[in-house]
Amino acid sequence: MTAPKLLSPATIGEFDLPNRVVMAPLTRNRARPDSNVPHALNAEYYAQRASAGLIITEATQITPEGKGYAWTPGIHSAEQIGGWRQVTDAVHAQGGRIVLQLWHVGRISHTSLQPDGQAPVAPSAIAADAHTFDGEGFVQTSTPRALATDEIARVVDDYRQAARNARQAGFDGVEVHAANGYVLDQFLRDGSNTRDDRYGGSIENRVRILREVFEAVTDVWPAGRVGVRFSPFAGFNDMHDRTPMQTFGAAISAASAAGLAYLHLVEGQTGGPRDLPEGGDLDALRARFDGAYMANNGYDRQLAVDAVESGHADLVAFGRPYIANPDLVERFARNAELNAPDQATFYGGGAEGYTDYPTLAESQAA
Ligand code: 8OZ
């Protein structure tokens, strides 16, 4: 039996990957509480998963303002850069590759998580019917204030600086998080963007900040080391758009024009059903992009093998399976059983449910 193409090497932009199995970005809320600094436990967790073709880190805030949940890591302080350096060194020592996911939450935050207890910022002052975790429990997100037109250049610069910081921290590249209802997604969709300046109204205007972020990030990184993630049909975090095919078609064209290495899509509802709404067409969206396509959402081994074999995807990102299976690639190679993830330890805590899932070899020795 020959190995499935899923397990074969791929050159994606400037990335040389030994296989097409990607560790999806996974929020785990285990950075240091006050400083949001990654530490040795996080390095161990990522290094355990180094046989992935590519690791995408958990979403990482580019500024204090970009933070929306307790205990998520940042990439805006010297200490955070140092913490991430421990992570990248540990992954590289195990022969892996790791990119940092650049995150600004926009309105998905709470005043208690913002500098000086201020209101979160967003394209428009429209509260999301959504919840965040403030360190004690789930709270309704706060009503944001709309960014002034002349503040947007500063937000774009925050992406540029975070991209620089990611280089300094030793990453192999970066992924721009434009999915799941965070700030770039908020600008893209008409349910959260009612601006009447050059960043709102027409689709071209709603895509403008994204283009500027791509320019800023590719000033710092070769475009072949940059990817982007969208969730065109997901309603998570109270997202709505009247014309998702047109909106995301334009956003994906912008990513293609920027020469990015890969397009990463959440297919269907984030962490939920893979169904698409009427008129939703992944192939049509994908056709707008010249680089590689990374598929995500609810994939298992067989679905992924078929997706790569049929040409639907070049890469497949796995979330929950990677929480519970550090050696997912080896398990796929042997078509072995997978450990089941424990939802109770997804967010927050220590080593339990984080670095203590056994490899196949460890299970068999036990
Ligand atoms: C789950 C919990 C908190 C944040 C995303 C960064 O949806 C997240 C996230 C997921 O992209």
Q: Tell me how crowded residue 189 is: count the other CB atoms within 10 A of its CB.
A: 21
Verify whether residue 293 is a known catalytic residue.
no
The SS3 of residue 99 is strand
pTM greater than 0.75 (yes/no): yes
Average pLDDT of the chain is 98
Residue 364: the pLDDT is 86
In the chain, the amino acid numbered 211 is R
From the candidates 45, 46, 182, 262, give the one annotated as an active-site residue.
182
Helix and strand numbers, DSSP H then E, in the chain = 11, 14
pLDDT in tens, 107-162: 999 999 999 999 999 999 999 999 999 999 999 999 999 999 999 999 999 999 99
Q: Report whether residue 180 contacts ligand 1, using a CB cutoff of 6 Å.
A: yes
Are 20 and 301 in contact by the 8 Å Cβ rule? The answer is no
How far away, in angstroms, is 365 Cα from ligand 1 center?
Answer: 35
Q: What distance in angstroms lies between residue 26's CA and the mean position of ligand 1's atoms?
A: 7
Atom of ligand 1 nearest to the CA of 103: 6
Question: If pLDDT is split at 50, 70 and 90, which confidence band does 100 have?
Answer: very high
Burial class, 47, CB count within 10 angstroms (exposed 0-12 / middle 13-18 / buried 19+): buried
pLDDT tens figures, 242-297: 999 999 999 999 999 999 999 999 999 999 999 999 999 999 999 999 999 999 99
Give the per-residue pLDDT at 156: 99
Measured by CA distance, the residue closest to atom 11 of ligand 1 is 180
Residue 209 reports pLDDT greater than 70 = yes
Indicate if ligand 1 lies below 6 Å from the C-beta of 57.
no
Q: Which residue's CA is minimally distant from atom 9 of ligand 1?
A: 27
pLDDT beyond 70 at 92: yes
Neighbour-count burial of 59, counting CB atoms closer than 10 A to its CB (0-12 exposed, 13-18 middle, 19+ buried): buried
Q: Is the pLDDT of residue 1 over 80?
A: no
The answer to whether the CB of 59 is under 6 A from ligand 1 is yes
Question: Which residue's CA lies nearest to atom 10 of ligand 1?
Answer: 27
Tell me the CA–centroid distance for residue 21 and ligand 1, in Å. 20
State residue 96's pLDDT score.
99
pLDDT tens string 326-361? 999 999 999 999 999 999 999 999 999 999 999 999
Q: Compute, in angstroms, the gap from residue 242 CA to the centroid of ligand 1.
A: 23
Confidence grade of residue 366 (pLDDT, cut at 50, 70, 90): confident
At residue 100, the 3 state secondary structure works out as: strand
Residue 282's contacts (CB-CB under 8 Å, 6 or more residues apart) are 265, 267, 276, 312
* Nearest Cα to Cα of residue 327 among 294, 302, 363: 363
What tens digit of pLDDT does each residue of 38-83 get?
999 999 999 999 999 999 999 999 999 999 999 999 999 999 999 9
Q: What is the 3-state secondary structure (H, E, C) of 245-308?
A: HHHHHHHHHHHHHCCCCEEEEECCCCCCCCCCCCCCCHHHHHCCCCCEEEEECCCCHHHHHHHH
SS3 label, residue 353: coil
Query: What percentage of the chain's residues is helix, strand, coil (to nearest 5)?
Result: 35, 15, 50
Reading the block at residue 241, the tokens are 């758009």
